[in-house]
Amino acid sequence: MHPPQDDTRFIEALTRHQPALEAFCHAHLANREDAREVLQATCVKLWQKAADWDPDTEFLPWAFTVARFTILSHYRDQKRGRLVFDEDVIEAMADEIEEAATAFDNRREALARCMKKLNRKQAALLHDHYTVSRSLREIAEASGRSLSAVKMTLLRIRQQLSACIEREMRTNP
Amino acid sequence: MEEQLLTLLQKVRDDRDEIARTELNELLRKYPEARTIMSRTLVDEQALVSHLRDESIVSILDAEGEVATSQPPTSPAMRLLAWPQQIAVALVAGAIVGLLGVGVVWAVNSPQSQARSLHVANGDFETFSGPVEIGFPSHFGGWGGNPAEVIEEVDGNRTLRLLKTGNVNGDPDDFASNCSVFQLVELASLRQQWATTEPETQITLNLSARFRREAAPTDAELPKLAGSCRIYLFNMKPEAISEGWPRVVREDGIGFGKKVITLAPGEEPATITASCLLESGATVALIVVAASTSSRAAPIDLGGYFVDDVQLTAIRQPTLPVHFVKQSTSQTN
């Protein structure tokens, strides 16, 4: 049984770092549904292993280790058709993913600044696709544009945001 | 490389393209740079989802008026909670409910403004491309005016390009100082939805549009080129407004709002908003987006003047304790 004080610190740490953990899962799987499923399973495991975490050490590196095992376990249960990356590629990307996910809060703040530079139509496309979860085909049909035009628009917005985030990270690290 | 990776990722996820999947994995195996880009791209994608999710929740709260007494959050206000966050949240829920209760009572009892978008046909220029009909429109639901066209840009976005100054006579050699594109918007549906005769409310119409100017060969001849949004209100039939333009403004106009912007070639795009009070008798709003040269000369090519995202919004709010003695024009330059 953990002392209540440690429980509180664990919940605080998990709550604070859950977005970074979700990003970590998403970067390994490149699939939002799978990432959320793995995040849930990871949270349960972290809770079960809460006694292993020393509150005087950083939470994220420990949580990433637990998440990595959960991801690989999930990965092996999936059919190949659902997966984006091969297992060896996931392992090769591990360090880069951990580095990017560790900086999640800073990257998210940078992204928030970059979002202000988008025009209304660009923001609406992102909202429809990522918040309302409309497929690009549905968006194309609703707007009377070709699917390839919508895909190209989304690609350009993503590139614009990526370039902006990198600039922001260099100037406001 | 980033574009190649994003394109392949899109093909794998949207089309289940096995060839793209193989190629993507090969690139990631072979190039450390590709792994860095892909890791950041996917972490940033999750940041985007998280940001949009928070924005969406905050906007719902704003709409409900529950945040009327609080400052806008500077960091994520709420997230879709997963266990065990729900445990932590439950511990403080009682206290928060008590505090919000005060806010709700305040919101319900306090006068609130309401906003409603009015339909501007092809206001974002996405449903039609090609030349805009030449001449003043005589009916609702379409753009018309001086030479202009809707073009599709490299990124797939469609936008209005103002091509050339013109004049109301349509004579290509006559004097012309601006390129204006017009649309007539009917206000009857707004009147059905909102009882505009209520003595204690007033309605403001806001016309906004995004202006962009790119460098063009004729820039030296256009030192004072300015963009503008204008609204005119009438209690007339569209055909009569069309027949009487522009004299009808002076003789029959019952409301007017204007906003002007001067952009240098290549300057950052800007959104401007013109406002005017909705007079109780107004049945038609004439909206105009234009680029003006400030000099009357033979028609001239504008080159790179673009307008996008034209929106007309009605705002209803309680009447302020102010007595208007003259019609408001809300003009700002």
Give B303 to chain A, closest Cα distance, Å.
Answer: 22
Domains of chain B: 31-109 (no CATH), 115-318 (2.60.120.260)
Write out residues 55-114 of A within 8 Å (CB-CB) of B. 81, 84-86, 88-89, 92-93, 96-97, 99-101, 103-104, 107-108, 111-112
DSSP string, B268-333: PPEEEEEEEE--TT--EEEEEEEEEEEEEES--EEEEEEEEEEEEEEEEEEPPS----S-----B-
Q: What is the ipTM of this complex?
A: 0.90
H helices of chain A, in order, are: 4-29, 32-48, 59-77, 87-92, 94-102, 104-115, 120-126, 136-143, 147-171
Chain segment A49-72, per-residue pLDDT in tens: 888 888 888 889 999 999 999 998
- Determine, for residues A153 and B6 on separate chains, whether the beta-carbon distance falls below 8 Å: no
Same domain assignment for residues A92 and A161: no
DSSP strand pairing (B284-297 vs B226-234): antiparallel
Given B43, B51, B85, which is nearest A27 (Cβ)? B43
Same domain assignment for residues A10 and A84: yes
Chain segment B173-213, per-residue pLDDT in tens: 556 778 999 999 999 878 777 764 555 677 889 999 999 99
Which residue positions in chain B have pLDDT lower than 50?
A: 60-111, 196, 320-333
Same domain assignment for residues A97 and A121: no
- Determine, for residues B82 and A43 on separate chains, whether the beta-carbon distance falls below 8 Å: yes
Give B260 to chain A, closest Cα distance, Å.
Answer: 20
| CATH code of the domain containing A65 | 1.10.1740
**Most A CBs within 10 Å, among B33, B48, B80, B159, to test the A interface:** B48
| CATH code of the domain containing A111 | 1.10.10.10
Same domain assignment for residues A72 and A22: yes
- Determine, for residues B39 and A131 on separate chains, whether the beta-carbon distance falls below 8 Å: no
Does A145 reach chain B within 8 Å, measured CB to CB? Answer: yes
Give B87 to chain A, closest Cα distance, Å.
Answer: 9
Instruction: Please give the Cα distance from A130 to A20 (Å, whole number).
Output: 18
Same domain assignment for residues A135 and A66: no
Q: Would you state the pLDDT for residue B154?
A: 80
Q: Which of A102, A137, A153 is the last residue of a domain?
A: A102
Same domain assignment for residues A141 and A87: no
- Determine, for residues A155 and B10 on separate chains, whether the beta-carbon distance falls below 8 Å: yes
| Count of pairs with CB atoms under 8 A, one residue in A, one in B | 168
Nearest CA among B320, B319, B118, B304 for reference residue B208: B118
Chain segment B250-273, per-residue pLDDT in tens: 788 888 888 889 888 888 888 899
Same domain assignment for residues A98 and A19: yes
Q: Categorize the per-residue pLDDT at A104 as very low, low, confident or very high, splitting at 50, 70 and 90.
A: very high
Same domain assignment for residues A115 and A83: no
**Most A CBs within 10 Å, among B6, B9, B22, B44, to test the A interface:** B44
Q: Would you state the pLDDT for residue B78?
A: 35
Same domain assignment for residues A8 and A73: yes
Same domain assignment for residues A129 and A164: yes
Same domain assignment for residues A90 and A141: no
Please give the tally of structural domains in chain A: 2
Does A14 reach chain B within 8 Å, measured CB to CB? Answer: yes
Same domain assignment for residues A27 and A64: yes
Residue A159 belongs to what domain range?
107-171
**Most B CBs within 10 Å, among A93, A116, A148, A152, to test the B interface:** A93
Chain A residue with the nearest C-alpha to that of B159: A121
Burial profile B289-311: b = 16 or more Cβ within 10 angstroms, e = fewer: bbbbbeeeeebbbbbbbbbbbbb
Q: Would you state the pLDDT for residue B11?
A: 85
Higher-pLDDT residue of A81, B105: A81
